[in-house]
């Protein structure tokens, strides 16, 4: 999946560990290349260059950061997060349970939750909810589907469940959101 400039910049600003080894950012002024999660001071956006691979950055004269060590890759953790993200992307529209996700990855529920938290710093089900809400917002704004259809289309079992989750995240119900944001 190709990442946009904006989403990479967001990941750098947020020190988002989920993007580690998916891309690297190099800082022209310090000549250092980092993982997105690096906790060093956020550079000026103008000084940042993005690289899909570390070797390209090194080829251009950047040195791997001593703090975040982009040169040390834990491939298994990286692969694990890729797997979970791809299940989310392909199956968010289904009423996915934790059991089903764990089964597909081949881990126990407990191990799945713990590893996801360790690698990304976030909760797995929260991330799934986020994807569902984002997808539903696209539908609210760009389609004429009813709220009930949208709720089912993004994996909720009932409109009321969708309403509750949406309101918690966005501060209002889906129908109010649609009225307010739609041009």
Point out which residues bind Zn ion (CB under 5 A). 34, 38, 65, 67-68
Nearer to Zn ion, 40 or 85 (CB): 40
Nearer to Zn ion, 13 or 179 (CB): 13
Report the distance separating Cα 87 and Cα 90, nearest Å.
5
Using CB positions, name the residue nearest to Zn ion. Answer: 65
Tokens of 59: 């080829």
Nearer to Zn ion, 44 or 180 (CB): 44
Q: Where are the alpha helices (DSSP H) in 22-62?
A: 54-59
Q: What is the 3-state secondary structure (H, E, C) of 57-97?
A: HHHCCCEECCCCCCCCCCHHHHHHHHHHHHHHHHHCCCCCC
Nearer to Zn ion, 51 or 177 (CB): 51
| Minimum CB–partner distance for residue 25 and Zn ion (Å) | 9
Report the distance separating Cα 54 and Cα 57, nearest Å.
5
């Amino acid at each position: 999946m190709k990442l946009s400039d904006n989403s990479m910049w967001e990941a750098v600003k947020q020190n988002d560990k989920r993007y580690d080894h998916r891309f690297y950012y190099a800082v022209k002024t310090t000549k250092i290349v980092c993982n997105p999660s690096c906790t060093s001071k956020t550079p000026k956006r103008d000084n940042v260059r993005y690289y899909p691979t570390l070797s390209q950055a090194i080829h251009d004269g950047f040195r791997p950061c001593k703090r975040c060590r982009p040169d040390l890759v834990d491939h298994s953790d990286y692969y694990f997060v890729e797997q979970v993200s791809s299940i989310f992307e392909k199956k968010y529209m289904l009423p996915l349970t934790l059991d089903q996700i764990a089964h597909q990855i081949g881990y126990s529920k407990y191990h799945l939750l713990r590893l996801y938290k360790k690698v990304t710093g976030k909760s797995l089900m929260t991330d799934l909810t986020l994807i569902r809400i984002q997808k539903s917002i696209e539908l609210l704004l760009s389609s004429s589907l009813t709220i009930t259809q949208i709720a089912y289309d993004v994996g909720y079992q009932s409109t009321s469940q969708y309403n509750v989750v949406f309101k918690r995240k966005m501060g209002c119900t889906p129908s109010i959101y649609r009225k307010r944001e739609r041009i």
